[in-house]
Amino acid sequence: MWRRAVAFLIDLLPLAVLAGVENAVGIAENEIVGVLNLLLLIIYFAGMNYQFGGTLGKRIMGLRIALPSSPNVVPQLIGRSFVKICCLVPPLATVYGLVAIWREDGRSFADFIAGTMVVDVATLTTPRRLSLSGRLLATALALVVPWVLLIALIVCLFGMILIEELLKNL
Instruction: Give the mean pLDDT of 101-128.
Output: 84
| Domain range enclosing 82 | 2-168
CA distance 25 to 101: 39
CA distance 6 to 9: 5
Contact 87, 43 (CB under 8 A): no
Residue type, 42: I
pTM of the model: 0.75
Torsions phi, psi of 159, nearest 5? -65, -40
DSSP codes joined into one string, 23-73: HHHT-TT-HHHHHHHHHHHHHHHHHHHHHHSS-HHHHHTTEEEE----TTH
CA distance 160 to 151: 14
**Number of domains within the chain:** 1
Tens of pLDDT, residues 69-109: 777 788 888 989 998 888 888 888 888 888 888 888 888 88
Q: Indicate the pLDDT class of residue 56, thresholds 50, 70 and 90.
A: very high
- In terms of Cα–Cα distance, which of 11, 33, 32 is closest to 23? 33
Instruction: Give the mean pLDDT of 16-26.
Output: 79
Say if strands 117-120 and 63-66 run parallel, antiparallel, or are unpaired.
antiparallel
**Rounded to the nearest 5 degrees, what angle is found at the Cα of 127, between the Cα atoms of 7 and 98?**
70
Average pLDDT, the chain: 84
b/e map of 59-89 (b: 16 or more CB within 10 Å)?
bebebbbebeeeeebeebbbbbbbbbbebbe
